[in-house]
Protein backbone atom coordinates (compact mmCIF):
# COMPACT_ATOMS: atom_id res chain seq x y z
CA UNK A 1 0.00 0.00 0.00
CA UNK A 2 1.56 3.25 -1.05
CA UNK A 3 1.00 6.21 1.21
CA UNK A 4 2.10 9.57 -0.10
CA UNK A 5 3.35 11.94 2.58
CA UNK A 6 0.78 14.61 3.20
CA UNK A 7 2.09 18.06 2.19
CA UNK A 8 1.31 19.57 5.61
CA UNK A 9 3.72 18.11 8.16
CA UNK A 10 2.14 20.06 10.99
CA UNK A 11 2.84 17.56 13.75
CA UNK A 12 0.34 16.60 16.45
CA UNK A 13 -2.25 13.90 15.96
CA UNK A 14 -3.05 12.59 12.48
CA UNK A 15 -6.62 11.48 12.01
CA UNK A 16 -6.17 10.31 8.42
CA UNK A 17 -6.79 6.66 9.12
CA UNK A 18 -10.16 7.02 10.82
CA UNK A 19 -12.10 6.10 7.70
CA UNK A 20 -9.84 3.16 6.89
CA UNK A 21 -10.04 1.86 10.46
CA UNK A 22 -13.82 2.03 10.46
CA UNK A 23 -13.98 -0.06 7.27
CA UNK A 24 -11.42 -2.53 8.65
CA UNK A 25 -13.30 -2.83 11.92
CA UNK A 26 -16.56 -3.62 10.23
CA UNK A 27 -14.97 -6.17 7.90
CA UNK A 28 -13.06 -7.76 10.78
CA UNK A 29 -16.13 -8.11 12.94
CA UNK A 30 -17.92 -9.80 10.07
CA UNK A 31 -15.35 -12.58 10.34
CA UNK A 32 -15.58 -12.66 14.11
CA UNK A 33 -12.33 -10.77 14.83
CA UNK A 34 -11.80 -7.55 16.73
CA UNK A 35 -9.39 -4.70 16.19
CA UNK A 36 -6.78 -4.32 18.97
CA UNK A 37 -7.51 -1.71 21.64
CA UNK A 38 -5.07 0.69 23.24
CA UNK A 39 -4.10 -0.80 26.55
CA UNK A 40 -6.07 0.85 29.35
CA UNK A 41 -5.21 0.51 32.98
CA UNK A 42 -8.67 -0.29 34.32
CA UNK A 43 -7.55 0.93 37.64
CA UNK A 44 -8.15 2.06 41.16
CA UNK A 45 -6.00 4.95 42.30
CA UNK A 46 -6.55 6.99 45.44
CA UNK A 47 -4.94 9.64 47.56
CA UNK A 48 -5.56 11.37 50.82
CA UNK A 49 -4.10 14.15 52.94
CA UNK A 50 -3.28 13.20 56.53
CA UNK A 51 -1.63 14.97 59.42
CA UNK A 52 1.97 14.95 58.20
CA UNK A 53 1.55 14.70 54.43
CA UNK A 54 -0.04 12.76 51.62
CA UNK A 55 -0.59 9.06 50.98
CA UNK A 56 -1.10 7.80 47.44
CA UNK A 57 -2.34 4.31 46.65
CA UNK A 58 -2.84 2.24 43.51
CA UNK A 59 -3.62 -1.28 42.41
CA UNK A 60 -1.16 -3.05 40.12
CA UNK A 61 -3.21 -4.63 37.34
CA UNK A 62 -3.00 -3.59 33.71
CA UNK A 63 -5.66 -5.02 31.41
CA UNK A 64 -6.24 -5.33 27.71
CA UNK A 65 -9.98 -5.87 27.51
CA UNK A 66 -10.53 -9.02 29.57
CA UNK A 67 -6.91 -10.19 29.72
CA UNK A 68 -4.47 -9.09 32.41
CA UNK A 69 -1.33 -8.05 30.59
CA UNK A 70 0.68 -6.95 33.62
CA UNK A 71 0.06 -8.35 37.09
CA UNK A 72 2.40 -6.01 38.86
CA UNK A 73 2.69 -2.73 37.01
CA UNK A 74 3.71 0.48 38.72
CA UNK A 75 1.06 3.19 38.63
CA UNK A 76 2.66 5.63 41.05
CA UNK A 77 5.11 7.76 39.12
CA UNK A 78 7.91 10.04 40.28
CA UNK A 79 7.59 13.72 39.42
CA UNK A 80 9.82 15.44 41.99
CA UNK A 81 11.50 14.41 45.26
CA UNK A 82 8.33 15.08 47.25
CA UNK A 83 5.72 15.00 44.48
CA UNK A 84 4.33 11.78 43.05
CA UNK A 85 1.55 11.08 40.59
CA UNK A 86 -0.87 8.14 40.19
CA UNK A 87 -2.04 7.50 36.64
CA UNK A 88 -5.21 5.91 35.29
CA UNK A 89 -6.64 5.73 31.80
CA UNK A 90 -4.56 4.80 28.77
CA UNK A 91 -1.37 3.24 30.15
CA UNK A 92 1.01 4.78 27.63
CA UNK A 93 -0.48 8.25 27.97
CA UNK A 94 -0.27 8.23 31.76
CA UNK A 95 3.32 6.96 31.68
CA UNK A 96 4.61 9.44 29.11
CA UNK A 97 2.72 12.42 30.49
CA UNK A 98 4.23 11.92 33.91
CA UNK A 99 7.71 11.48 32.47
CA UNK A 100 7.35 14.72 30.53
CA UNK A 101 6.19 16.44 33.71
CA UNK A 102 9.13 15.07 35.70
CA UNK A 103 11.63 16.53 33.24
CA UNK A 104 9.75 19.85 33.01
CA UNK A 105 9.76 20.10 36.79
CA UNK A 106 13.50 19.47 36.91
CA UNK A 107 14.06 22.26 34.35
CA UNK A 108 11.76 24.57 36.26
CA UNK A 109 13.69 23.89 39.46
CA UNK A 110 16.95 24.77 37.73
CA UNK A 111 15.45 27.93 36.24
CA UNK A 112 13.89 29.24 39.43
CA UNK A 113 16.31 27.78 41.97
CA UNK A 114 13.37 26.71 44.12
CA UNK A 115 11.88 23.36 45.07
CA UNK A 116 8.74 22.65 43.02
CA UNK A 117 5.19 23.38 44.10
CA UNK A 118 2.40 20.85 43.62
CA UNK A 119 0.26 23.60 42.07
CA UNK A 120 2.95 24.14 39.47
CA UNK A 121 2.90 20.50 38.45
CA UNK A 122 -0.91 20.52 38.31
CA UNK A 123 -0.95 23.68 36.21
CA UNK A 124 1.52 22.30 33.67
CA UNK A 125 -0.37 19.02 33.50
CA UNK A 126 -3.75 20.59 32.97
CA UNK A 127 -2.47 23.05 30.39
CA UNK A 128 -0.91 20.21 28.41
CA UNK A 129 -3.97 17.99 28.63
CA UNK A 130 -6.30 20.85 27.70
CA UNK A 131 -4.15 21.58 24.68
CA UNK A 132 -4.71 17.98 23.50
CA UNK A 133 -8.46 18.34 24.10
CA UNK A 134 -8.88 14.98 25.80
CA UNK A 135 -7.06 12.90 23.20
CA UNK A 136 -4.30 12.17 25.71
CA UNK A 137 -6.34 9.79 27.85
CA UNK A 138 -4.65 10.07 31.20
CA UNK A 139 -6.48 10.71 34.48
CA UNK A 140 -4.02 11.61 37.20
CA UNK A 141 -3.89 12.15 40.93
CA UNK A 142 -1.02 14.47 41.84
CA UNK A 143 0.01 14.49 45.47
CA UNK A 144 2.92 15.96 47.30
CA UNK A 145 4.35 18.15 50.00
CA UNK A 146 5.89 21.52 49.25
CA UNK A 147 6.63 24.71 51.21
CA UNK A 148 2.92 25.48 51.45
CA UNK A 149 2.09 22.08 52.92
CA UNK A 150 0.60 18.78 51.73
CA UNK A 151 -1.74 18.97 48.75
CA UNK A 152 -3.73 16.64 46.53
CA UNK A 153 -5.06 17.38 43.04
CA UNK A 154 -6.92 15.32 40.45
CA UNK A 155 -6.49 16.10 36.75
CA UNK A 156 -8.89 14.76 34.13
CA UNK A 157 -8.04 13.97 30.48
CA UNK A 158 -9.80 17.08 29.18
CA UNK A 159 -7.77 19.31 31.46
CA UNK A 160 -10.00 20.07 34.43
CA UNK A 161 -8.66 19.77 37.96
CA UNK A 162 -10.02 19.54 41.51
CA UNK A 163 -8.27 20.16 44.81
CA UNK A 164 -9.63 17.94 47.56
CA UNK A 165 -8.55 16.26 50.82
CA UNK A 166 -9.24 12.80 49.40
CA UNK A 167 -9.58 11.56 45.84
CA UNK A 168 -10.10 8.43 43.83
CA UNK A 169 -9.94 7.82 40.08
CA UNK A 170 -10.06 5.03 37.55
CA UNK A 171 -12.67 2.37 36.93
CA UNK A 172 -12.62 1.37 40.61
CA UNK A 173 -13.06 4.93 41.84
CA UNK A 174 -16.67 4.48 42.87
CA UNK A 175 -15.80 1.49 45.06
CA UNK A 176 -12.82 3.25 46.62
CA UNK A 177 -14.50 6.58 47.27
CA UNK A 178 -17.26 4.89 49.24
CA UNK A 179 -14.63 3.67 51.73
CA UNK A 180 -13.21 7.20 51.98
CA UNK A 181 -16.62 8.80 52.39
CA UNK A 182 -17.32 6.45 55.26
CA UNK A 183 -14.09 6.69 57.25
CA UNK A 184 -12.12 9.77 56.21
CA UNK A 185 -11.35 12.38 58.89
CA UNK A 186 -9.10 15.43 58.55
CA UNK A 187 -5.63 15.20 60.19
CA UNK A 188 -5.51 11.44 60.67
CA UNK A 189 -2.45 9.70 62.05
CA UNK A 190 -0.18 7.78 59.69
CA UNK A 191 -1.29 4.27 60.64
CA UNK A 192 -5.00 4.99 60.40
CA UNK A 193 -4.53 6.86 57.13
CA UNK A 194 -2.44 4.07 55.58
CA UNK A 195 -5.01 1.53 56.63
CA UNK A 196 -7.76 3.60 55.05
CA UNK A 197 -5.98 3.97 51.69
CA UNK A 198 -5.18 0.29 51.67
CA UNK A 199 -8.82 -0.56 52.32
CA UNK A 200 -10.01 1.82 49.65
CA UNK A 201 -7.75 0.25 47.02
CA UNK A 202 -8.81 -3.18 48.27
CA UNK A 203 -12.42 -2.20 47.70
CA UNK A 204 -11.50 -1.29 44.13
CA UNK A 205 -9.62 -4.55 43.68
CA UNK A 206 -12.49 -6.69 44.93
CA UNK A 207 -15.42 -4.79 43.48
CA UNK A 208 -14.02 -3.76 40.09
CA UNK A 209 -13.04 -6.19 37.37
CA UNK A 210 -10.48 -3.86 35.89
CA UNK A 211 -8.47 -3.59 39.13
CA UNK A 212 -6.59 -6.29 40.95
CA UNK A 213 -3.35 -7.84 42.17
CA UNK A 214 -1.52 -5.88 44.89
CA UNK A 215 -1.79 -2.52 46.57
CA UNK A 216 1.05 -0.04 46.13
CA UNK A 217 1.33 2.75 48.68
CA UNK A 218 3.41 5.91 48.62
CA UNK A 219 3.71 7.96 51.80
CA UNK A 220 4.99 11.51 51.22
CA UNK A 221 6.00 13.83 54.03
CA UNK A 222 8.21 16.91 54.05
CA UNK A 223 11.06 14.69 55.20
CA UNK A 224 10.80 12.37 52.21
CA UNK A 225 9.01 9.56 50.49
CA UNK A 226 8.41 5.94 51.41
CA UNK A 227 7.29 3.62 48.61
CA UNK A 228 5.55 0.50 49.81
CA UNK A 229 5.31 -1.72 46.79
CA UNK A 230 3.05 -4.70 46.50
CA UNK A 231 1.54 -4.54 49.93
CA UNK A 232 -1.13 -7.15 50.28
CA UNK A 233 -4.56 -5.82 51.09
CA UNK A 234 -6.37 -7.24 54.09
CA UNK A 235 -8.52 -10.06 52.85
CA UNK A 236 -11.42 -11.74 54.53
CA UNK A 237 -10.95 -15.22 53.13
CA UNK A 238 -10.25 -13.83 49.68
CA UNK A 239 -7.38 -15.39 47.78
CA UNK A 240 -6.73 -19.05 48.47
CA UNK A 241 -3.52 -21.08 48.35
CA UNK A 242 -3.03 -22.48 44.87
CA UNK A 243 -0.04 -24.64 45.60
CA UNK A 244 -0.67 -28.34 45.57
CA UNK A 245 1.00 -30.58 48.12
CA UNK A 246 3.69 -33.04 47.08
CA UNK A 247 2.08 -36.32 46.18
CA UNK A 248 -1.04 -34.75 44.65
CA UNK A 249 0.23 -35.96 41.29
CA UNK A 250 1.59 -39.49 41.53
CA UNK A 251 5.12 -40.00 40.17
CA UNK A 252 5.15 -43.09 37.98
CA UNK A 253 8.76 -43.23 36.71
CA UNK A 254 11.94 -41.23 37.27
CA UNK A 255 14.92 -41.13 34.87
CA UNK A 256 18.10 -39.15 35.56
CA UNK A 257 20.48 -38.31 32.69
CA UNK A 258 23.67 -36.54 33.79
CA UNK A 259 24.99 -33.97 31.31
CA UNK A 260 28.78 -33.95 31.16
CA UNK A 261 30.02 -30.49 30.24
CA UNK A 262 33.64 -29.43 29.83
CA UNK A 263 34.82 -25.88 30.42
CA UNK A 264 36.08 -24.53 27.08
CA UNK A 265 36.71 -20.86 27.75
CA UNK A 266 36.31 -18.47 30.65
CA UNK A 267 36.27 -14.69 30.32
CA UNK A 268 35.46 -12.01 32.87
CA UNK A 269 34.15 -8.57 31.94
CA UNK A 270 34.20 -5.98 34.69
CA UNK A 271 31.35 -3.39 34.77
CA UNK A 272 31.87 0.22 35.80
CA UNK A 273 31.29 0.72 39.50
CA UNK A 274 29.90 4.13 40.47
Partner 1 sequence: MAATASMMQSFGPNLSAQNDLVPDWTRTEVSTGTTIMAVEYDGGVVIGADSRTTTGAYIANRVTDKLTPIHDRIFCCRSGSAADTQAIADVVAYQLGFHSIELDEPPLVETAAHLFKASCYRYREELTAGILVAGWDRRRGGQVYCVPIGGMLVRQPVSVGGSGSTYIYGFMDSNYKPSMSKEQCLELTATALTLAMERDGSSGGVVRLASISEDGVERRVILGNQLPKISTH
Q: Does 22 engage in binding with partner 1 (CB under 8 A)? A: yes
Question: Of 55 and 155, which CB lies nearer to partner 1 in the complex structure?
Answer: 155
Minimum distance, C-beta of residue 58 to partner 1, in the bound complex (Å): 15
Which residue of 14, 33, 38, 72 would you call a contact of partner 1, by CB under 8 A?
38
**Residue 23 or residue 234: which is nearer to partner 1 going by CB?**
23
Among positions 156, 178, 184, 227, the unique one binding partner 1 when judged by CB under 8 A: 156
Quickly list DSSP for the chain. Answer: ---PPPS----S---TTHHHHHHHHHHHHHTT--PPPPPEE---EEEEE-SSEEEEEEE--EEETTEEEESS---EEEEETTEEEEEEEEHHHHHHHHHHHHHHHHHHHHHH-SPPPHHHHHHHHHHHHHHTTT-S-EEEEEEEEETTEEEEEEE-TTS-EEE-SEEEESTTHHHHHHHHHHH--TT--HHHHHHHHHHHHHHHHHH-TT--S-EEEEEEETTEEEEEEEEPPP-SS-S---PPPTTSSPP------PPP---------PPPP-
Q: Work out how close the CB of 130 gets to partner 1 at its nearest, in angstroms, rounded to a whole number.
A: 5
- C-beta closer to partner 1: residue 64 or 115: 64
How many residues line the site for partner 1 (CB under 8 A)?
47
- Interaction between residue 112 and partner 1 (CB under 8 A): no
Q: How far is the CB of 175 from partner 1 (least distance, A)?
A: 11
43 catalytically annotated: yes
Judged by CB under 8 A, the residue of 44, 60, 171, 214 near partner 1 is 171
Active site residues: 43
Residues that bind partner 1 (CB under 8 A): 1, 18-27, 30, 34-35, 37-38, 40, 42, 63, 65-66, 88-89, 126-127, 129-130, 133-134, 137, 139, 154, 156-162, 164, 170-171, 173-174, 208-210
Amino acid sequence: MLHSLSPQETGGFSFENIRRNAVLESSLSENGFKAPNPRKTGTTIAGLVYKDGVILGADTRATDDMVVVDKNCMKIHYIAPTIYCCGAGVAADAEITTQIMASNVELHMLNTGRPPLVTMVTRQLKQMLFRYQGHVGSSLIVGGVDVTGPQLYSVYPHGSYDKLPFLTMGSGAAAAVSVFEDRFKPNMELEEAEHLVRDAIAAGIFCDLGSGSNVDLCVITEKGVEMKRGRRSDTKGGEGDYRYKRGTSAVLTKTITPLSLELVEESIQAMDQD
